[in-house]
Structure 1
């Protein structure tokens, strides 16, 4: 089976939706930051493993605590996934911190800063 088959893409979408709702509404771990979102999910074609890319809006300490909390709740999350999704195998989940949004925001700020400097240096001086 190809990695980007229609079936695999559909499974990725369903797992992403269920994982988001489980993390948002069912886990009561205080380590998990309230502004946590699932950015992407990659389920292996054999349905044995799954990479979940998690984005946390907060400082580094909150990010580490959230990943630790999610790893400790992995058994519960897998059980809920198995209950909610009708898959042959329930994948083993690996939580990966996704900092692409933060990186993008920082790059936007840098670009804005450079364009502001260029605009101010190019203004013609009035005589």
Structure 2
């Protein structure tokens, strides 16, 4: 039991970031380009269970995560789950490499930072019209 506690504590500390690191990343915010938004909309078919049910969508500004071109953008939306019911607004962090989505992280803590700026994302909601 003691090993499990030590392992849990080590894993928790490995993910810690300082406020200074958070501020540095948040300071790199810029609006998503039209091409980035289009790429996210195209990739949404793989990320959402029912991408054609998306409503109340918002997209954050893009932030730079490192100097190798890795960026992230948050998408908040309400969509149906596997049972056919709406889940409520969930935040998904979309990782971008050279403007193309390369992965996602559901309910990423950074998406809930008050410093993150969001705007409506009607392009994602338009999937229901296809």
Q: TM-score, normalised by structure 2?
A: 0.34
* Structure whose residues are more often strand by fraction: 2
* Structure whose residues are more often helix by fraction: 1
Q: TM-score, normalised by structure 1?
A: 0.34
